[in-house]
Each structure stands twice: as C-alpha cells, then as structure tokens.
C-alpha cells in the first residue's frame, strides 16, 4: 500500500485558497486521519476488516470528532493523526445505525481547528462543493453536487436524501463535504458507480455518496452525552438484500441473525411485508420499519424455487450483535 503522500489530484481539480471565500488552510487542519483496530471476533470483522482507516472531522474545541460509523464500530483502539503530525488516541462515543454517523472523543488536546456546519438541504444539485480527506491540500477535491436522492443499502440501511458528488474521491471514508462557504454538509460513506440516477448513459460515471449533516443535528447532543440517538432502535432482520428487475432478492444471511433463525435462504425473493407488496429495497425497508421498533415480528411472503412461502421473523436490535471492547 502506498503512503498517502504518494499521490495527488491533478492541479485543475485541487481547490486554490485565492479562489475561495473561506480559509482553506484552517479547514484542512480540521481533518484528521483515523485508524481503528477491531478484534477478530467482532461481528463486523469479516465484512469490514479488522484494520480500518479513513478520515475524521473535528467538530469542536473539546476534541469531538465526526466520521462514518463503519470505521469505528466494535473498535478496541482508535488513533487520530492531525495534519501537523500529532497522534492522539480516541475513544468511540457512538455509532448511530440509522444515520450511519460515528462520533469519537480525543483523549488529549488536538492541535486542530474545527468546522462550521450547514443544513445540506440548502445546497442544490449543480453546486460546487469541496471534498476533504486527510493528506492536506493535494488530497482536496473541487467537485460538483451531482444528485440528491434516496439511497438504500443492502445491509438494511436507508437515507431519504443522500448527497452524490462527482468526480469521485478515492479516500471517501469519513471525508468531509463542504459547501462554497466552507461549511460541512456531509460525511463520506461510499464510492458509487453512478453519481446521477436515471441516466445510464450519463458521462459523469463514478462518484461518492455522502450522508447529509442535517440528519445529525437532532440527535447530536444525545449521541455526545449518552452514546445513543434517543430514538427507538429499528428492527433488524440480519439479511443482505438487492434489487433486480423490480424484485427484492436475499443475497446473503447474517450468521446467527434473525433471518437465519427464521429459515430464510440466499436466493429467496421477498414478495411482501405484512401483506404489502414490495418492489424495491427502499420500500422493503420502509415497510419493515413501519411495523414497530426492534423486536417486532415481521411477516414475510417469499418466493423460493417457484413456490410461495410465508415466514415470520422476530427482529432484533442490530447493536445486540456487536462486540463491546473492554474499557481500559
């Protein structure tokens, strides 16, 4: 693996301080490199790995750092590196499954600045935006807000108004998305093959998906003080689903999860939830979550090898499956 300083964006794609209305240098100082180590017995170790790296965004002068939650879930140790090279250990404060955000607290003073936040709903498709990851100015990318649309993830995840940008940033995990005023509007989650929906011939091609910052605001204080959002946990089935030709197909089953215990199999077609027909992953998730909080029974009608099958899945709280590192 090459060191992060061994590459840079073409000069035309790198934002220049003289062209901006905000202090680019201060903004770059608010981005930290993040490294998390996860034990092999962790629930997410097989899917997300045991060594995870990405970026974090400093939110305040108390050392609160925002990132994408999959980097720190089940982590037993986390270290942050500032732009100046300072290394500080941090502890995870929260990972909110519904939004995908993760919060950390640095265990020592951070030699870093912190960001201002803005409501991403005030940003518009076509706006110029800036993607900042660790690595300084050469890893800063001037981009375009290409789309705002729902995003459904196969791991039982749904955003109603995800932010999509183009061109893509190769170090998207936990990267900050900033508007033309230098305000944070999103946190990097994924690389996507199609930045604009509905046009397979669109030449923009790949892009990144960002979680909009406005869905953090109502739960931020609770996450910081209790480690929880204050909202009921959503029902989790423990399956990995995909869409194909207006059908929802079970692509995999989480080991020892509710779906496995109820008898679902890879390849099953999910036809309806509690009698309501579903044709998309987003609709499937909305119907499951509408039944109640984690623990609710979820009636499913499945198609399996040409036959109809009705199963009832006792949902769970996904967090109950997670490894909890011992505090030191």
> N- to C-terminal Cα distance for the chain?
31
Whether residue 104 lies inside any domain: the answer is yes
Q: What is the pTM of this model?
A: 0.94
Is 1 in the same domain as 136?
yes
b/e burial code for range 283-320 (CB count within 10 A of at least 16 → b)? bbbbbbbeeeebebebebbbeeeeeebeeebebbbbbe
Whether residue 284 lies inside any domain: the answer is yes
Is 24 in the same domain as 41?
yes
Q: Which residues contact 276 (CB under 8 A, 6 or more apart)?
A: 287
Is 66 in the same domain as 92?
yes
Is 162 in the same domain as 35?
yes
Is 246 in the same domain as 224?
no
Which of the listed residues 231, 265, 280 is the one where a domain comes to its end?
A: 231
Question: Can you give the residue range of the structural domain that contains 143?
Answer: 1-231
Task: Give me the CATH number covering residue 266.
Answer: 2.30.42.10
Which of the listed residues 189, 212, 231 is the one where a domain comes to its end?
A: 231
Is 130 in the same domain as 197?
yes
Is 171 in the same domain as 193?
yes
Tens of each residue's pLDDT in the chain, 328 residues: 334 467 899 999 999 999 999 999 999 999 999 999 999 999 999 999 999 999 999 999 999 999 999 999 999 999 999 999 999 999 999 999 999 999 999 999 999 999 999 999 999 999 999 999 999 999 999 999 999 999 999 999 999 999 999 999 999 999 999 999 999 999 999 999 988 876 555 555 899 999 999 999 999 999 999 999 999 999 999 999 999 999 999 999 999 999 999 999 999 999 999 999 999 999 999 999 999 999 999 999 999 999 999 999 999 999 999 987 654 4
Task: Give me the CATH number covering residue 208.
Answer: 2.40.10.120
Are 318 and 326 a contacting pair, CB within 8 Å?
Answer: no
Whether residue 326 lies inside any domain: the answer is no
pLDDT digits 0-9 by tens, 60-75: 999 999 999 999 999 9
Is 177 in the same domain as 30?
yes
- Quote the CA–CA distance of 10 and 167 in Å, as a whole number: 12
């Amino acid at each position: 693996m090459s060191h992060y300083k061994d590459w840079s964006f073409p000069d035309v794609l790198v934002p220049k301080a003289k062209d901006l209305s905000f202090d680019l240098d201060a903004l770059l100082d608010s981005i930290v490199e993040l490294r998390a180590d996860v034990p092999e017995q962790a629930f997410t170790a097989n899917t997300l790995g045991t060594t995870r790296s990405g970026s974090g965004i400093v939110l305040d002068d108390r050392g609160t750092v925002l990132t994408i939650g999959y980097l720190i879930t089940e982590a037993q140790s986390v270290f942050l590196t500032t732009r100046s090279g300072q290394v500080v250990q941090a502890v995870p404060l929260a990972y909110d499954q519904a939004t995908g955000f993760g919060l950390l607290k640095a265990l020592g003073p951070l030699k870093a600045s912190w960001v201002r936040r803005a409501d991403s709903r005030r940003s518009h498709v076509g706006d110029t935006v800036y993607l900042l990851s660790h690595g300084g100015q050469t890893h800063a990318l001037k981009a375009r807000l290409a789309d705002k649309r729902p995003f459904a993830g196969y791991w039982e995840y749904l955003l109603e108004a995800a932010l999509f940008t183009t061109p893509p940033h190769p170090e998207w995990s936990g990267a900050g998305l900033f508007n033309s005023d230098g305000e944070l509007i999103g946190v990097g989650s994924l690389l996507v093959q199609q930045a604009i929906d509905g046009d397979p011939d669109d030449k923009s091609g790949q892009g990144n998906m960002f979680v909009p910052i406005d869905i953090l605001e109502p739960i931020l204080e609770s996450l910081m003080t209790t480690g929880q959002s204050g909202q009921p946990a959503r029902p989790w089935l423990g399956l990995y689903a995909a869409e194909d030709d207006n059908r929802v197909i079970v692509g995999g089953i989480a080991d020892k999860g509710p779906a496995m215990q109820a008898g679902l199999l890879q390849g099953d077609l999910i036809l309806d939830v509690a009698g309501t027909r579903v044709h998309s992953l987003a609709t499937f998730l909305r119907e499951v979550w509408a039944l109640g909080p984690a623990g609710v029974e979820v009636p499913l009608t499945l198609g399996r090898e040409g036959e109809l099958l009705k199963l009832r899945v006792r949902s769970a709280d996904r967090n109950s499956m997670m490894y909890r590192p011992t505090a030191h």
